[in-house]
Structure 1
Amino acid sequence: MSADVELGMKLLRAALGGSVTRNVASRVELAERIVFDAFDEAGGHYIVKVDSDWRRISDEVDAMRYVRTVVPAPEFVAADETSLAYRYVDGTPLTEVNDADAWRNAGETLAKLHALPADCPEEHRLNWGAHFLGGALEETTRIGSLLTETQRQRFVDYFTGGLAGLQLDVCVSLHGDCQAEHVIIDAAGGVAALLDFADFGCGDALVDLCALTAWHPHQLNAVLDGYQPSAQLLARVDRYRHAYWARRHLGVARWRAEQNLPYHDALNAALKFATPDPS
């Protein structure tokens, strides 16, 4: 089943009880997922997601309702088994903001999200190191022919050594795809909203911290200043951040290649971080 725009329009019309128009250009347009802007008769602005996988819709709805108790998230409007609609949040994606205070505020907001009780089995925490390493090694296989054999072995050796000894003291609630584009900054430099909770879950806080700063490693100190990490987390940041950045970029490169999107920048970034002393 492919995503169908009309399913989302039907959902929003039913929720609002009136006519709805949409932008011709979509924000995201993949075979299985479409995200677009829609407007009601009074000029109200909405974001509509249509997904062929009902589990992604269900997971995001549940996560949005949960996290809004402690962090700014879009106002939920309606959802069914195919679509999700929420009110548009005005602001600027953090990717376009260089101000350190905005990044500091993003770190503070992320800490509040991570403080939410996490429904995480104890074995998930105990097995995190093996789980994360296994996922990193799986990426080197899934990305297939995009890597030369020399590059693939470079990643295998780097992840095997770079993630050695990884352990968690605590599992936290994770955004799961906390790229800077999913953090909306208001005119005062505060966080107006966190977006896109389809991958909400639990695990190492470093997953979100490194996703947030993957393309902006120079902002990590500002993020940590706002986050105020524990001594244990700060030690993991110091020791493992490059491996987490490398895995993040490698996964993005693989996903973009699967969607027939340009992937070379992400792959080159992964290769850059997968060195003993990345500059």
Structure 2
Amino acid sequence: MPEIEIVVAHSERTTLRVGNVFLKVDADPARIEHEIIAMDLAPIPTPQVLWHQPSVLALATVPGKPLGKLGEPLSAPPAAWVAAGATIRKLHEAPLPPWTAPGHDELAAELDQECSWLIAHDVLPAALVSRNRKVAEAALRPWTPAFAHGDLQIAHVFVDDNEEITGVLDWSEGAQGDPLYDLATLTLGHEERLHDLLTGYGAPVDLDVIRGWWSARSLLAARWLIEHGFDPDSPGCEFDVLRAAR
């Protein structure tokens, strides 16, 4: 009999693995509906939907393994990152989905709130927060919307032994958004793979915007991670990204 593996669990959603099936349990049924539609619209490999009910989504496992995990050494070769870049470019060139991600003005206001919280609660030195807030400014500009994944963490992209992308997971944030945010999210904490990713992406990219999103995402995520039992100060994770910002 297969065992139940808890993949991730917090107060908003939990993902379980039972044999070859992943069960996603979400407190917000609308997020599951959003994810199903986004996967159907995306022109790149996504997990097969087996069935769903309100608050529960069953997905088939994706072959291969993740590109990596934030805070851990990378094992996927450069060719896998080139393939990931080409896959993301295909997504970004697809017809736009019906949802719109927060705009730069809304994100700037949220970022200021999170920076104030980090300083007020002595989570990070004020000078470090202020420096990264300035770096983040490069990302908070008008952009041409693309079909963006919205949460393209390194653990969400699977690759096989032939360096082919076999699936991209977790589409609940899929929307019309900044394509460079996806590129920055995937390389967060792994700047050394940015060149390979952009080689596969094959389009000019403003590196200051990528660096801005590294800082912005790390600042925006810190409080949520802390309040949900994760440690952004683990080696190689968000706080190390903030310390390395330039």
Partner Cα separation in structure 2 for residue 238 and residue 28 of structure 1 = 32
Tell which deviates more after alignment, 102-111 or 131-140: 131-140
Matches of 2:150 and 2:32, distance apart in 1:
15
The equivalences for 1:208-219 within 5 A come to 208-219=182-193
Deviation at 1:187, TM superposition (A): 1.3
Please say if residues 188 and 241 of structure 2, whose CA atoms lie closer than 8 Å, have aligned partners that are also in contact: no
| Separation in 2, partners of 1:159, 1:169 | 19
Letter in 2 for 1:141: S
How many pairs are equivalent? 238
Higher helix content, 1 or 2? 1
Q: Which aligned pairs between 1:139-150 and structure 2 lie closer than 5 A?
A: 139-143=114-118, 145-148=121-124
CA contact (8 A) 2:14 2:24 kept: yes
1:93 to 66, 75, 81: 66
The answer as to 2:228 corresponding to 1:259 is yes
> Once the two structures are superposed, what CA deviation does each residue of 1:170-219 show, in whole Å capped at 9, x if it has no partner?
11111111011000001101100001101111211111000000021111
Q: Deviation digits for residues 49-73 of structure 1, max 9, x if unmatched?
A: 0111112111111111111xx1001
Secondary structure class of the residue paired with 1:90? coil
Cα offset, 1:131, TM superposition: 3.4
Query: Please, what is the CA RMSD of the aligned residues?
Result: 2.5
String of CA shifts for 1:253-274, please: whole Å, max 9, x gaps.
3222011222213342243244
2:57 corresponds to:
84
In structure 2, the partner of 1:13 is: none
Residue 80 of structure 2: aligned partner: 102
Change in Cα spacing, 1:46 to 1:161, as seen in structure 2 (3 Å) is closer
Give how far 1:31 is off.
2.7
Report the TM-score when normalising by structure 2. Answer: 0.86
Give the whole-Å Cα distance in 1 for the aligned partners of 2:36 and 2:216.
Answer: 27
Give me the identity figure in percent: 26
* Secondary structure of 2:172's aligned partner: coil
Structure 1 position 181 matched with structure 2 position 155: yes
Q: Report the alpha carbon displacement of residue 141 of structure 1 after superposing the two structures with TM.
A: 3.3
Find the partner of 2:202 among 217, 228, 233: 228
TM-score normalised according to structure 1 size? 0.76
Contact 2:65-2:158 at 8 Å conserved across structures: yes
**Alignment match of 2:239 (pick from 268, 274, 279):** 268
One-letter code aligned to 2:147: S
Find 1:75's aligned residue among 22, 31, 48: 48
Specify whether residues 23 and 142 from structure 1 end up closer, same or farther in structure 2 by C-alpha distance, changes over 3 A only.
Answer: farther
RCO (CA 8 Å, sep 6+): is it higher in 1 or 2?
Answer: 2
Which residues in structure 2 correspond to 1:145-156 (within 5 Å)? Answer: 145-148=121-124, 151-152=125-126, 154-156=128-130
Cα distance 1:104–1:165, how it changes in 2: closer, same or farther (>3 A)?
A: closer
- Secondary structure of the 2:4 match is coil
Give the C-alpha shift of residue 157 in structure 1.
Answer: 5.2
Bigger-Rg structure (1/2): 1
How big is each residue's C-alpha offset from its partner over 1:105-154, in whole Å with a ceiling of 9 and x where there is no partner? 00100011111222479xx79x9443333332232134451525xx3454
**Does the 8 A contact of 2:32 with 2:56 survive in 1?**
yes
Residues of 1 paired with 2:96 and 2:166: CA distance?
23
4+ residue runs of structure 1 moved beyond 3 angstroms?
A: 141-144, 164-169
Q: Distance in 2 between matches of 1:261 and 1:170?
A: 33
**Mind listing any 5+ residue stretches in structure 1 that lack a counterpart?**
1-20, 40-44
Q: Does the aligned pair in 2 maintain the 1:243–1:273 contact within 8 Å?
A: no
Do the aligned partners of 2:67 and 2:157 also contact (CA within 8 Å) in 1? yes
* 2: CA distance, partners of 1:161 / 1:269: 15
Q: Distance in 2 between matches of 1:59 and 1:155?
A: 33
Is 2:5 the counterpart of 1:34?
A: no
